[in-house]
């Protein structure tokens, strides 16, 4: 009801919310140097508004939104060498990884049923030590044992370690294309070779790298293959709300074959295959807008700038005699003393530390050269007496 009193109340509530928002750190301020999210494209925000009340989880009323989702899956399928492609838009990497392991379980159980195998197994998955913490959640949630495979000096998974962990309980092997701490790309071809002939589900977590690696290849960077072009890859997680420039929340999960997992819901006229019941179609609309607006050319340019800025930061740090790890993607690790790290945090820089003690920076599209210059200046100041 539009009364004077209501109008005043509305204004008050919105002011309260703006005050809360003031406390948040925004991407445009340039201080956020260690987040995998970024300022989304304006058109993605507009796209969300059009679909603000549509639930992608209810097929009876979201025909248009479902078409959008299919088109996004087709587009990203093409990008990842898969045609036809199956899959979903999800809330992000965590949900996609959960759904992938649920699918591995569904297939394993189906196979066992079909072959009349009765022996119960205690399901296990093999995940590189560098895997995202979503796999620990999966372990807790699904009651699955996560076996952590060792890593090589370059932070990629050690294939021998994976081989040694495989046993009759293994239902899936996970490889990562752009791991969270280092941006390293696992040898997915090697993993596929290991899984071959063993009926093992191979999932690739490219939540971060999925919207980077294909565009680096277009610029002739020597980066590893990770996609469905590798026979044996069953599913890939790729996140539009990271380097895909979309609004939060939006992830994607693509399958080579039509997924088997679903539950029957008679009152919703059929099967429900997603993890979440109600899901914002605005995320799918935003994704569509980004893919169409940027296209391969636009993404290539964004990735080019992020890599140039990563190199710019790396060169600047080297000039200050700081040891850095050679970056594969737009994630840079380097070595500074704890005191300096703490000072940088005190100054307001949002940076992080890896499990091995490196300072980790993610150069996302919101990070501009001017921000990096300022960061380097602060480091120079802090290290001048070293
Ligand atoms: N897989 C990989 C390789 C990831 O790096 C991440 C998240 C996920 C899966 C899970 O994705 P969702 O967070 O979408 O479920 N990586 C970032 C991280 O944990 C997520 C992030 C993003 C954290 C922005 C902070 C932040 O400000 O660091």
Ligand 1, atom 9: nearest CA belongs to which residue? 93
Mean pLDDT of 315-320: 96
Query: Any idea which of 37-46, 109-118, 264-273, 374-383 has the lowest mean pLDDT?
Result: 264-273
59 by Cβ neighbours in 10 Å (0-12 / 13-18 / 19+) ranks as: middle
User: What pLDDT does residue 316 have?
Assistant: 98
**Closest ligand 1 atom, CA of 209?**
3
The string of pLDDT tens digits covering residues 344-377 is 999 999 999 999 999 999 999 999 999 999 999 9
- CA torsion angle 19 23 25 28 (round to 10): 30
**Among 334, 311, 333, CA closest to 322:** 334
CA of 219 to the centre of ligand 1 (A): 26
User: What pLDDT does residue 2 have?
Assistant: 79
Q: What is the CATH T-level fold of the domain 43-293, as seen in this structure?
A: 3.40.640
CA of 36 to the centre of ligand 1 (A): 6
**Closest ligand 1 atom, CA of 178?**
3
Cis peptide before 340 (omega within 30 of 0): no
CA of 207 to the centre of ligand 1 (A): 8
Residue 108 pLDDT > 80, yes or no? yes
Overall CATH class of domain 22-39+295-385: alpha beta
Find the residues whose C-beta lies inside 6 A of ligand 1: 35-37, 92-94, 97, 132, 134, 176, 179-180, 205, 207-208, 239, 251
CATH 3.90.1150.10 domain range(s) in the chain = 22-39+295-385
Residue 386 pLDDT > 80, yes or no? no
CA dihedral (227, 231, 233, 234) positive or negative? positive
Mean pLDDT of 36-41: 98
Report how far residue 82's alpha carbon sits from residue 38's, in angstroms, rounded to the nearest whole number.
Answer: 27
CATH 3.40.640.10 domain range(s) in the chain = 43-293
CA of 93 to the centre of ligand 1 (A): 7
User: What pLDDT does residue 270 have?
Assistant: 84
User: What pLDDT does residue 205 have?
Assistant: 99
CA of 34 to the centre of ligand 1 (A): 11
Ligand 1, atom 8: nearest CA belongs to which residue? 93
Strand partners, 142: none
CA of 13 to the centre of ligand 1 (A): 31
Report how far residue 224's alpha carbon sits from residue 187's, in angstroms, rounded to the nearest whole number.
Answer: 7
The string of pLDDT tens digits covering residues 242-300 is 999 999 999 999 999 999 999 999 887 788 999 999 999 999 999 999 999 999 999 99
Confidence of residue 120 (pLDDT cuts 50, 70, 90): confident
């Amino acid at each position: 009801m539009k009364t004077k009193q209501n109008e005043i109340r509305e204004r008050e509530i919105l002011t309260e919310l703006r005050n809360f928002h003031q406390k948040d750190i925004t991407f445009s301020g340039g201080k956020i140097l260690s987040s995998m999210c970024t300022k989304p494209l304006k058109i993605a925000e507009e796209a969300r508004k059009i679909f603000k009340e549509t639930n992608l989880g209810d097929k009876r009323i979201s025909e248009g939104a479902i078409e959008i989702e299919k088109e996004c899956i087709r587009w990203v399928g093409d990008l990842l060498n898969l045609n036809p492609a199956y899959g979903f838009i999800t809330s992000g990497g965590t949900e996609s990884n959960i759904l992938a392991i649920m699918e591995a379980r569904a297939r394993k159980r189906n196979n066992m049923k079909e072959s009349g195998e009765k022996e119960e197994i205690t399901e296990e998955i093999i995940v590189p030590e560098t895997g995202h913490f979503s796999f620990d959640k999966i372990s807790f949630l699904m009651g699955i044992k996560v076996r952590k495979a060792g890593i090589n000096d370059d932070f990629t998974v050690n294939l021998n370690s994976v081989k040694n962990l495989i046993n009759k309980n293994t239902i899936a092997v996970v490889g990562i294309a752009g791991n969270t701490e280092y941006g390293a790309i696992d040898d997915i071809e090697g993993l596929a070779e290991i899984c071959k002939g063993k009926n093992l589900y191979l999932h690739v977590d490219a939540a971060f790298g999925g919207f980077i690696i294909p565009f680096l290849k277009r610029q002739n960077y020597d980066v590893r293959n990770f996609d469905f072009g590798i026979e044996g890859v069953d599913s890939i997680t790729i996140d539009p709300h990271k380097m895909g420039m979309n609004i939060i929340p939006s992830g994607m999960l693509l399958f080579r074959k039509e997924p088997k997992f679903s539950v029957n819901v008679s009152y919703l006229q059929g099967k429900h295959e997603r993890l979440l019941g109600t899901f914002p179609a605005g995320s799918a609309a935003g994704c569509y807008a980004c893919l169409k607006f940027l296209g391969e050319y636009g993404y290539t340019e964004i990735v080019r700038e992020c890599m140039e800025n990563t190199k710019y930061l790396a060169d600047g740090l080297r000039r200050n005699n700081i040891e850095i790890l050679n970056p594969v993607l737009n994630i840079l690790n380097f070595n500074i003393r704890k005191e300096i790290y703490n000072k940088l945090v005190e100054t307001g820089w949002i940076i992080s530390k890896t499990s091995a003690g490196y300072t980790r920076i993610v150069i996302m599209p919101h990070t501009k050269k001017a921000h990096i210059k300022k960061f380097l200046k602060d480091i120079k100041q802090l290290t001048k007496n070293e």
